Amino acid sequence: MGRSLFFGAQSLVFYALLSACTPSSQLPTGSSSTSSGTGGEGGFFPVGGSTPGCTDTTDTDGDAIADSLEGTGDLDEDGTPNNEDTDSDGDGLLDADEATNPFLDPSQGGFSRDEPCDPLADTDGDTKPDALDKDSDNDGLSDKQEAKADPDGKLGCKVKTDCDGDGVIDLIEAAAGSDPADDKSVPDDPGLFFVLPYGEGEKTQDFVFSTGVSKADIYFMIDTTASMQPAIDTLKSSISTKVIPAILNGDSTANPPIPPIDDAWIGMGTFRDVPWSTYGQPGDDIYRHRFDIAGQTITGNVTPPKAVGNTFAAPDNVTKILNSLTAAGGGDAPEATTQALWIAATNGLYAATVGGIWSPASPYPAPCTDLSLIGVPCFRKDSIPIFVLMTDAAFHNGPLAVNNYAAAEVGGTKTYTESVDALNAISAKIVGVPVSGGNPNAARKDLTDLAEKTGSSYYDPQFGGTIRPLVSETDVTSGNVSDEVVRLLGLLSGAGLHDVTTDRVSYSCAGGVDCTGDGKPDLAYENPPVKAGEQPFDAAKLITKVAPVESTQVPKPYSSLDSATFFGVRGAAELTFRVHARNDDWAPSSLVVLRAKILVETPSGQLLGGAAGVKLVYFVIPEYLPVAE
């Protein structure tokens, strides 16, 4: 049997500093084990009590350490034996200073010394005295590095695992790129850090995150039949001055406040009806996503907004499409909303028939630049797809059978159930804006049913708290459609309901890109392999479980939870997960630091919480020293 020795009896120092800077007066005492040493580089030295076998007080180099304790080896390989070298380990700190450590417990040998044969300080309890130990506190940073970081402190950094007392251990600060000797230099997010000796059981830590919508692809689906022209004109005039800035910047003065969606892309498509009577008119399109504008083909793919000074505007493709729209066509009152949604969500082959075959004018399936992108609008895989539906009409093949196409007149169309299933398959949300002017409440009723069937809802705290669909309560006048789009998207980001869980991955970064979710480029990084020539170690396997922690808030900001997921989380709530980690996989021959990431997301993999929803995890794996039991 064997076990991992880490910092000897001083391991508790390191553990305490993981959560807070432990005052030196509270540091535990060192080991009382004694062994006779050879006096060379690999000698063993007592900590505490007298020094057995040291009777000759000869001190050739005058550093107050007996030659018999320093030995005649040459630790720093500078050509001068240790007993004649005032800095035997070559770390820039004098042996005379390293022999005594005032940060140790006063009862411990090495706290103070009077005679050359007095015990030597051994800060990390590894049986090598500090004067002959190149990493006296065994924090993974050499004494030489720490001496450079703290040139005036002499022993201050070398014998403390948190040199500057900022609560983040030196090794993690060095890994995260901050200065371990400057308490004002703290990593933007030091993440979670675990000390995981091989085979020594499970450790846990909690982290708090926000569940707000941080990454969304907002796709405007606009009814362009004749009665919709006033609403289209309103959106044209305000999408870049009102709608996009509110989505990206939020509005804290709104009631309720609108949280920003930091990473929102915008796209656009339109719909009418099948192009034959009595349902539609010749030239109508069930769905359009490609538009011929001024001799160019413009697609409505979701695209990043444009930065304009300190605010944002709609991307060029959306602006060009919107400005080109002219309402026309249509036949009977209901429109082909469900057909357009099925095509957009699936990017599947589609044909409707009546005395022949008819398909949307653009070719489908439509190509996306990346096969991981979803649907016709090319939704990003880890983003929430949001359809903003603006219409004044009920749906053909919608919730009401009375509005279904007659099979004898139009075959090959999709049912309402098929369209709902297609939206749920990509975890899409519906934001419904029923525009006044058509059949009163007809659009609103169908939009409400669609929102309910796709889980597109928000929590309203009034009247004891109720769940409401993300659809306007009444029909919206044409001049107010932009305000209503902003309000509903604000409710989705601030009070929308989501199921929330986590994923974990081993950390890897190509460099020059944002790999930690903080919006800043990161340095290239790979975890080391267990053996040379192997793949980088998968640090995610060290995380055994990430479990929700019951909230003490009243009322709770979610409906329920299980061992992995919060259900029905309300808006940008702050919640806690408990991370369980253990190391049964790597028994390294020297200290190793590994990294993984925890991602807060929906069960279908859509990211939540922005920077607060990505947690970097450091694992400090100490040297494994098998010891007979």
**259 and 143 in a common domain:** no
Residue 197 lies in a domain: no
Burial grade of 295 (CB within 10 A; 0-12, 13-18, 19 or more): exposed
Residue 196 lies in a domain: no
Q: How far, in Å, CA of 70 to CA of 67, rounded?
A: 5
Question: What is the phi/psi pair of residue 13, to 5°?
Answer: -60, -50
Residue 516, both tokens: 């930690």
What one-letter code names the amino acid at 291?
A: F
Residue 498, both tokens: 């989501």
Residue 628 lies in a domain: no
The DSSP annotation for 13-35 comes to HHHHHHHS---GGGPPP------
**506 and 453 in a common domain:** no
Residue 569 lies in a domain: yes
**511 and 471 in a common domain:** no
Q: Contact 121/110 with Cβ under 8 angstroms? A: yes
CA distances for 21 relative to 154, 163, 195, angstroms: 19, 9, 16
What one-letter code names the amino acid at 486?
A: V
What one-letter code names the amino acid at 627?
A: V
What one-letter code names the amino acid at 529?
A: P
**481 and 402 in a common domain:** yes
Q: Which of 203, 140, 27, 163 is nearest to 622 (CA)?
A: 140
**27 and 149 in a common domain:** yes
pLDDT at residue 361 in the model: 67
Q: How far, in Å, CA of 555 to CA of 243, rounded?
A: 32
Residue 253 lies in a domain: yes
Mapped onto helix, strand or coil, the DSSP state of residue 401 is helix
Residue 592 lies in a domain: yes
Residue 626 lies in a domain: no
Out of 478, 495, 512, pick the residue that ends a domain. 495
Mapped onto helix, strand or coil, the DSSP state of residue 615 is strand
Give the number of other Cβ atoms within 10 Å of residue 401's Cβ.
Answer: 8
Q: Contact 138/124 with Cβ under 8 angstroms? A: yes
pLDDT at residue 586 in the model: 95
Q: Per the structure, how many domains does the chain have?
A: 3
| Domain, as residue range, for 553 | 208-212+499-621
**504 and 491 in a common domain:** no
Give the number of other Cβ atoms within 10 Å of residue 602's Cβ.
Answer: 18
Residue 67, both tokens: 């030659």
Which mean pLDDT values do the consecutive 10-residue runs of the chain (629 residues) have?
33 33 28 30 40 88 93 92 93 89 82 90 85 78 65 56 70 68 65 84 91 92 95 94 89 81 94 91 91 94 91 93 92 94 94 77 78 95 96 97 92 95 97 92 97 95 86 96 94 92 96 86 92 95 97 92 96 92 92 90 90 86 67
CA distances for 584 relative to 190, 558, 597, 620, 621, angstroms: 24, 35, 19, 14, 11
57 Cβ contact partners less than 8 Å away, ≥ 6 residues apart: 66, 115, 116, 117
**341 and 414 in a common domain:** yes
Q: Contact 93/156 with Cβ under 8 angstroms? A: no
Q: Which of 27, 26, 22 is nearest to 167 (CA)?
A: 22
Q: Contact 45/30 with Cβ under 8 angstroms? A: no
**361 and 461 in a common domain:** yes
What CATH number is attached to the domain comprising 304?
3.40.50.410
pLDDT at residue 437 in the model: 86
Give the number of other Cβ atoms within 10 Å of residue 40's Cβ.
Answer: 15
Out of 495, 522, 556, pick the residue that ends a domain. 495
pLDDT at residue 452 in the model: 97
Mapped onto helix, strand or coil, the DSSP state of residue 229 is helix
The DSSP annotation for 454-468 comes to TT-EEEE-GGG-EEE
Out of 464, 495, 526, pick the residue that ends a domain. 495
Q: Which of 342, 321, 350 is nearest to 428 (CA)?
A: 342
Q: How far, in Å, CA of 121 to CA of 136, rounded?
A: 9
Q: What is the chain's alpha carbon radius of gyration, rounded to the nearest angstrom?
A: 33
**289 and 147 in a common domain:** no
Tokens 């790597």, located at residue: 586
Residue 5, both tokens: 């020795």
Residue 408, both tokens: 């004898």
The DSSP annotation for 547-599 comes to EEE----SS-SSSEE-SS-EEEEESS-EEEEEEEE--SS---SS-EEEEEEEE
Q: How far, in Å, CA of 629 to CA of 626, rounded?
A: 9
- Alpha-helical (H) ranges within 479-572 are 481-495
Q: How far, in Å, CA of 410 to CA of 405, rounded?
A: 6
Residue 506, both tokens: 């081993």
**368 and 277 in a common domain:** yes
430 Cβ contact partners less than 8 Å away, ≥ 6 residues apart: 386, 387, 389, 423, 447, 450, 451, 454, 456, 470, 471
Residue 201 lies in a domain: no
Q: How far, in Å, CA of 251 to CA of 394, rounded?
A: 32
Q: How far, in Å, CA of 312 to CA of 239, rounded?
A: 10
- Size (the chain), residues: 629
**469 and 376 in a common domain:** yes
**24 and 113 in a common domain:** yes
Residue 421, both tokens: 């299933």
Identify the DSSP state of 608.
B
Q: How far, in Å, CA of 380 to CA of 471, rounded?
A: 24
- Alpha-helical (H) ranges within 50-116 are 67-70, 95-98
